[in-house]
Amino acid sequence: MRLKARAKINWTLDIVGQRADGYHLMDMLMQPVTLSDDITLEKADQVTLTTGGTPLLPADERHLAYRAALALKAHTGYPGGAAIHVKKHIPVGAGMGGGSADAAGVLIGLNRLWALNLSLSELEAIGLTLGADVPFCLRGGLTRTTGIGECMENLPCGRCWPLVVVQPCEGLSTKEIFTAYHEGVVDARPDNAAAALALAQGDASALSDAMANVMQPVSEQRRSGIAEAIAALNARGAFAAQMTGSGSAVFGAFTSTDAAKAAFEAAQRLWERTYLCESCMESVVFDNEP
Residues annotated catalytic, as ranges: 8, 133
d(CA 24, CA 243): 18
d(CA 97, CA 6): 9
User: In a 10 Å sphere around its CB, with 0-12 CB exposed, 13-18 middle and 19+ buried, how is residue 129 labelled?
Assistant: exposed
The answer to whether residues 29 and 155 touch, using CB atoms and an 8 Å cutoff, is: yes
DSSP bridge pairs for 276: 164
Phi, psi of 130 (to 5 degrees): -95, -35
Burial 216-238 (b: 16+ CB within 10 A, else e): bbbbbebbebbbbbbebbeebbb
CA distances from 36 to 53, 67, 175, 260, 276 (A): 12, 19, 24, 18, 11
